[in-house]
Amino acid sequence: MGIYGALSTAVTGLRAQSFALENISGNIANSQTTGFKRTDTDFVDLIPDAAQKRQTAGSVLAQSRSTNNVQGDVKGASTETYMAINGNGFFIVEPRSGQADGGATFAGANYYTRRGDFEMDKSGYLVNGAGYYLKGLPIDPATQNISGSVPQVLQVSNSFLPAQQTTRVNYEINLPQLPKTPKYQSSQTAGSELLAAQDFVALTPDEAASTSGATAAGTDATSTIAAAGETLTIQIGATTRTYTFAGSGGTTMPTIDVTDAGSDTVAEVLAQIEADLIANGATGASVGLDSGGKIKITAGNITDSITITDGTTGSTAIGFNLTNGTYDPTVALATALAVRVPAIAASDVDSFISQSISGGAITVYAGNGAPANVQMRWAKVNSTQNGGAERWNLFILTDAAATGANTMWTRVGGDYQFGADGSPNPPIEYTDLPNLTVNGVTIGNVRLQHGSSGLTQFADPNGTAEVTALSQNGYAAGEYVSVSVNDAGRVVVSYNNGQQLEVAQVVTANFNATNQLKRMDGGVFAATSDSGEPILDNGGGVIGSSLEASNTDISEEFTKLIVTQQAYAAGTRIVSTADQMLQEALNMVR
């Protein structure tokens, strides 16, 4: 080869160093480009075929070497739709192919990028700074599961989020073994922590008393609820009294003359009975009419049962109309006569509040998004100390505006009975509230979900109920506020009702030969036969509110620049030397 070979080899070296300089220049120019991957230069020696002892160093060839697998620094960003990838994956993107009816159209091609500066455009598409549209998989709004397996261009809707009816309330609570109700705190006596059901339940309605206007009109009408010769037996605890009604002779207890001026009205008859019961040992007993005109008999001692034997028909064939049987408001009897409080009238609410404890409150929603505040109170209705089981009832405030005899609080569910270990016996995992209506708002069927261990009765020094879980699955209609990407790669839309809805999953693509991807404008790459097909990943290390910087290191590039410059200068010296040697050869013929 000689001088001409040396000259040719020097030229390949100059060409190779120029190629390296071009790569260094591009790397430095893109040192601030989001997600940029620098290009390094490899030099390959080209050895001419010759005998072993005649081989030369040969010329050189420069070629690019990608650094797609070298990650740049990840920086936090204030834009919630910016994202970065921690790993070797790529975002799947697609350029817009055209426009129709004011909207973008797409051809279905897939490209790959590390540039994650995506922002939402006017049509709801997520577009990065180079103009490429993000692709991913849609999420079913009902199940929040990914639907489909083929990535598609993601478009976020800014329409209203429809209201969702509350169907489930997660409700877990510990009830104190000794509820320190206001009534208990004022008396500190055994049994005063229990709900006195007889304070809220009229044993049976007495139509004669009601229609005669004894309470409604504010007057005291003549009694028609007993006739001469009839009897009424009332037993309260250990006190038993049988009252005989007469039509003459005056009132001498237990005989009541319904024609006597002192006992010829409904109120007077009941007052005579009350005074006689108290005088004969039923201390604190009460017999009278409630605000609805119903006869109400109350035992003075909460542990006393009430037994009724009604032999009256009255002059109008109505009589007292009390159902015979034993009424025990605190101990569950093996009979249908055991009293339960199904509802609390507005007129009795003060007494109810004093005999119960707060169980928390939560806002639920109807199908049209109308809110309703559900307030809950618990009343202990029996205890082992009282001779029964540890039993509670749950009440819900169904009509806060109720007045008089109208229902304000309604008992829901059955009896919540607890064993010695503080757990429900039998187990209670949920309580159904069919067609729940609160303050005129019809919610529908709601289930209070307690779970396998969500209801307990453990001793509490404060005597209050401790709510450990209280949440529900409904919400009002919501207006679009913003969109973001979380660290699970989920595109999340936020609404002004506090709801956040995951609408899409960002999918990343991995390649077996990442550095064999073809580089294109805008920081995107195209798959090649050498890179292999993309391997899709639904959890590819996406980091929300972040950006990946260029992997170019300026100091490293400057170092390579110095080396390249010196190599190029050395190459030019070879060319100069070869030229001088050729001149000397030509001068030999002169």
Q: pLDDT per residue over 496-549, tens digit each?
A: 999 999 999 999 999 999 999 999 999 999 999 999 999 999 876 899 999 999
Banded model confidence at residue 334, pLDDT cuts 50, 70, 90? very low
Find the mean pLDDT for residues 343-359. 92
Distance CA 31, CA 108 (A): 31
- Nearest 5°: phi and psi at 60? -135, 150
For the domain with range 163-197+340-476, which CATH number is right: 2.60.98.20, 3.40.1440.60, 2.60.120.620, 3.20.20.60? 2.60.98.20
Smallest CA-to-CA distance from 167 within 478, 497, 475, 474 is with 474
Banded model confidence at residue 10, pLDDT cuts 50, 70, 90? confident
pLDDT of residue 257: 87
Smallest CA-to-CA distance from 357 within 241, 221, 503, 467 is with 467
- How many other CB atoms are found less than 10 A from the CB of residue 75? 12
Banded model confidence at residue 204, pLDDT cuts 50, 70, 90? very low
**Least confident stretch, 44-48, 215-219, 232-236, 494-498:** 215-219
Say what the pTM is: 0.64
For residue 276, what are the contacts with CB-CB under 8 A and spacing of at least 6?
241, 243, 253, 254
pLDDT of residue 215: 31
In the chain, what are the domain boundaries? 2-67+551-587, 74-162+479-548, 163-197+340-476, 202-328
pLDDT of residue 325: 64
Higher pLDDT, 321 or 434: 434
pLDDT of residue 155: 94
What would the pLDDT profile of 455-480 be if each residue is shown by its tens digit?
A: 999 999 999 999 999 999 999 999 99
Query: Residue 450 above 50 pLDDT?
Result: yes
Q: Greatest CA separation found in the chain?
A: 174
Burial 461-495 (b: 16+ CB within 10 A, else e): eebbbebeebebebbbbbebeebbbbeebbbbbbb
Banded model confidence at residue 19, pLDDT cuts 50, 70, 90? very high
Find the mean pLDDT for residues 296-308. 74
For CA atoms 489, 490, 493, 494, the dihedral sign is negative
pLDDT of residue 3: 85
The pLDDT > 90 percentage for the chain reads 59
pLDDT of residue 291: 59
Query: Residue 432 above 50 pLDDT?
Result: yes
pLDDT of residue 324: 67
Give CA separation, 434 vs 365, 400, 447, in Å.
15, 19, 8
What would the pLDDT profile of 99-143 be if each residue is shown by its tens digit?
A: 888 888 999 999 999 999 999 999 999 999 999 999 999 999 878
For residue 420, what are the contacts with CB-CB under 8 A and spacing of at least 6?
none
pLDDT of residue 343: 85
Give CA separation, 170 vs 362, 427, 472, 476, in Å.
10, 16, 6, 18
**Least confident stretch, 206-210, 254-258, 492-496, 537-541:** 206-210
Distance CA 81, CA 485 (A): 5
